[in-house]
Structures are given as C-alpha cells and as structure tokens.
Amino acid sequence: MSVSTSNAYGKISISDLAIAKVAAQAALESYGIVDTVSRRFTDTFAELFKKDAGGKGVKIVTSGNRIFIDVSVLIKYGVSIQAVAESLKEAIKYKVEYFTGMIVDTVNVNVVGLKL
C-alpha cells in the first residue's frame, strides 16, 4: 500500500517501504537504540533474500492519510527503557510527518531485547 495526496501540481504517492526506511533511520539515530530487529524468525529469514532490507524491524499500516507505525528495537543496556521509547516515538513521528506531510496516528515501540 501507499499514502497518497494531491496538490495543485498533481498527485504524490509514497510507498510503505519508503516510510519504513525513514522510520528505521530515525530509530537508528536515536540515543539508546542499538538496532532495529524483526519480531518474528520468519521475517528475519525472509530479509536474508531481499536485495534491500532498508525497513527492517518496521511495520507500516496506512489508512487514508493516516500512518500507523510499529517498530521493534534492541536497546542499550543501562538506559531508561521508558525514556528511550518515548524519545524514539517522538523522533519517528516528527521525521515521518516531515517527510510525508501526512499525519502519524500512532507509533508503537516493541523492545525485543537489550544489548550490552
């Protein structure tokens, strides 16, 4: 699926993969995040055969002009999980809204593990 909008110059369509890449990059730039990871083993196995695994660990669902994001991450050991998760939500929401011009309805952060 994709998110679409129109303006005086024409129609703009943004794919879910493009949105997932922006969200994954925002996650990797956030303090306390070690990596984005797939939630299920089958997803990890499928990513081995993809040419471009840019949106690893990010699931995008779009409805109209609203975007729902689920991100699975590894967090650095010793940081406040709540503080890092809230910061990550805000960073992803800001960057995806800036990139797409659409409204990010929810950002769900799934902490899969800790990394020393």
Provide DSSP, 13-65. Answer: EEEHHHHHHHHHHHHHHSTTEEEE--SSHHHHHHHTT-S--TTTTEEEEEETT
How many C-beta atoms lie closer than 10 Å to residue 19's C-beta? 23
At 46 the pLDDT is: 53
pTM of the model: 0.84
Q: The tokens 């050991």 sit on which residue?
A: 77
Domain that holds residue 50: 2-115
Number of domains in the chain: 1
pLDDT confidence bin for 44, thresholds 50/70/90: low
pLDDT of 49 reads 59
**Quick check: 92 pLDDT over 80?**
yes
CATH number (domain holding residue 41): 3.30.70.1350
Is residue 82 helix, strand or coil? Answer: helix
Q: What gap in Å lies between CA 47 and CA 51, rounded to an integer?
A: 8
pLDDT tens track for 5-31? 777 888 888 899 999 999 999 999 999
